[in-house]
Amino acid sequence: MGLFLAVAATFLFSLKSIFIKLLYQAGLNADAVLVWRMLIALPFYLLVGIYLARTQRDTLRQLPWKKIILLGFWGYYLASLLDLFSLEYISAQLERLGLFTYPFMIAILGSLFFSQKFTLRIGLSLLISYGGLVIVMWQESLLTGNRVLWGTLLVLGSALSYSVYVLLSQKYIIRFGSLLFTTLAMIGSSVFVIIHGWVFQGIELPAYDPLTIFWLVMLAVFSTVLPSYMMTHAIHLIGSTRTAIAGMLGPIMTLYLAVILLGEPFTLYLFAGMLLVISGVALQIKHKA
């Protein structure tokens, strides 16, 4: 069951980039997608929050609310915002590979601020993965001529923001449980998203066509709410290392879906770069295990 949940969550997360690209084709921008994604997802998290409030009242009194809300800002608001903006400049394939390198950022931040050991093996795996990312970035810049470097920097910024969230949230997840912490962090991040929407989008309800609404619901429910809980429960059942190994299927799934559904180009250089990124991350995961 744990392996099934990990693979299913990876597949649903892989669809995220596809849904966002389809929404961009429908005329939405990054601000609109960010706001409507969380507004649609928020009621589901509130329902889970209400249930947890009834069953874990004593735990709720002990929560460091301000810190959890701040972590929601890093992990689900800022990281999502940078990720959405990156997809305005780069392909879904490059975006997924960029996000996939966040374990290295965790290792670097951990060595700088949390006294975690940075080994030669971690450094080697980092060079392999980011070498592959450079190959994919170079190939995409030749094919599209868009602002690929800027888009790549945005997605790496997103991965960095998420890495900060992962490092700082570990002690709270251990203490209060992943289900409660994830729910509250998502609710907290929605506060920042609502403020963002009020500032940049206004309060008018746009008249979206039914297909656009359908993609928004799919993004919010099937690529946000469901996989967030499925991945959390998978980690509970089989551990973070095995879950991370299942997550290595993510770039492959996104690449296939991007080529089939979005018509993005697929080249040998892209394939070689993807293999290098995945190999580097696999080496890092093996080291952690």
CA distance 148 to 80: 18
Task: Give the side-chain half-sphere CA count within 13 A for 184.
Answer: 23
Check residues 203 and 74 and name the one with the higher pLDDT.
74
Is the model's pLDDT at 286 over the cut of 70?
no
Q: What is the pLDDT of residues 99-117, one digit of tens each?
A: 888 878 888 888 888 777 7
pLDDT digits (tens, 9 = 90+) for 7-54: 898 899 889 999 999 999 999 999 999 999 999 999 999 999 999 888
Average pLDDT over residues 192-214: 83
Judge contact between 280 and 41, C-beta under 8 A: no
- Residue ranges of alpha helices (H) inside the chain are 2-25, 30-55, 57-61, 65-72, 79-86, 92-99, 102-113, 120-144, 148-176, 178-200, 210-217, 226-247, 249-257, 268-288
Question: What per-residue string of b and e applies to 220-248 under the rule 16 or more CB within 10 Å gives b?
Answer: bbbbbbbbbbbbbbbbeebeeebbbbbbb
For residue 83, pLDDT over 90 is answered with yes
Are 93 and 243 within 8 A, CB to CB? no
d(CA 222, CA 216): 10
Residues in the chain: 289
Work out whether the CA dihedral 282, 251, 94, 112 comes out positive or negative.
negative
Closest CA to 281 of 95, 117, 121, 139: 121
